Amino acid sequence: MIYLCCDDEKIGELLSKNFGCDAIRYTILLNFRSYGTSFDFAQYYVQFSSEYNTETALVMRYNQTVYVLTTPECDTSELSSFVCGFADSELIYDGLAGSLQIPYKSINMGAVMCRMGFSSDVQNPAVVSINEPKVVANLVCENMAESKKTDFYLNTAHQMRHNHLRVYGVMSDNELVSSASVFAVDKEYSLIHFVYTGEYFRGNGYSRQILQAICSDISVNYFLLCEDHNIKFYEKCGFTQYETWVYYRL
């Protein structure tokens, strides 16, 4: 699963122009229906601009509540207003699940990547600081597991940064890796693996165009890792653990 984010209409225009997707309604990276791709689960970023800087948060919707995982310094009042104003519940819960061919609709970690003026019935999202996510998160996972008769798990992911490398987050084998090493998704998703070296991609076809177009426009300057052995490997390569995030997966 590709894990990227943006915060304005530019990426929507980019996707619409290059890949012919409905960028106004479905600006979650791409409309993967065109490539026959399906995902086992979904997680997205919400990134938005406040008066002084850009904030980033991880969002999950369950029933009528939006749970937002943030860093402690995030302006939560600004974030609450943003999520209530732009995270249309049906769009996140059903519309995007259908558009991305997600085989279940019980969980979506969602984001609105363009300023979409849809009405919302989502009120007062629960904003959870990274310092205190586990109580709420475990409760949510337990509720989902009980209602859907399926197990949900809470995972921690360590934010890795490098002083000199421009980094893009991409999921590969249940990990998030940087463009300084490998751009990849699991083979079962039928997308080509990429190795990023400076300014060049090795690969061909639509996947190359997708990655080049997106990566020329977005930089989050970090990636996330979950496994200790991978963290140690990247630390040897000059990366440093910066923060710990929390996410959910099936």
> For 84-103, what is each residue's pLDDT tens digit?
333 333 223 222 322 222 22
| Domain endpoint, select from 150, 176, 200 | 150
Distances in Å between the Cα of 2 and the Cα atoms of 28, 128, 151, 218 are: 10, 24, 23, 13
Nearest-10 Cα torsion for 174, 177, 183, 188: 0
Q: What is the pLDDT of residue 247?
A: 47
What residue spans of the chain are helical by DSSP H? Answer: 9-19, 76-86, 89-90, 96-99, 134-148, 205-215, 228-236
Residue 176, domain member (yes or no): yes
Neighbours of 229 (CB within 10 A): 7
Tell me the mean pLDDT in the region 32-48: 30
- Domain final residue, candidates 150, 178, 206: 150
- Pair 136, 45 in one domain: yes
Residue 235 has pLDDT above 70, yes or no: yes
Whether the pLDDT of residue 231 is over 70: the answer is yes
Is 4 inside any structural domain? no
Token look-up 């850009």 returns 54
Q: What is the domain count for the chain?
A: 2
Q: Give residue-wise pLDDT tens across range 192-230.
A: 233 333 233 333 333 444 444 444 433 445 566 666 776
The domain in which residue 45 lies consists of 9-150
Same domain, 173 and 136: no
CA–CA separation, 132 vs 186, rounded Å?
32
User: Would you say residue 233 has pLDDT above 50?
Assistant: yes
Domain boundary at 130, 150, 170, which? 150
pLDDT at 162: 64
Q: Is there a single domain that holds both residue 19 and residue 133? A: yes
pLDDT digits (tens, 9 = 90+) for 154-177: 556 667 776 655 444 443 334 443
Distance, CA of 239 to CA of 177 (rounded, Å) = 11
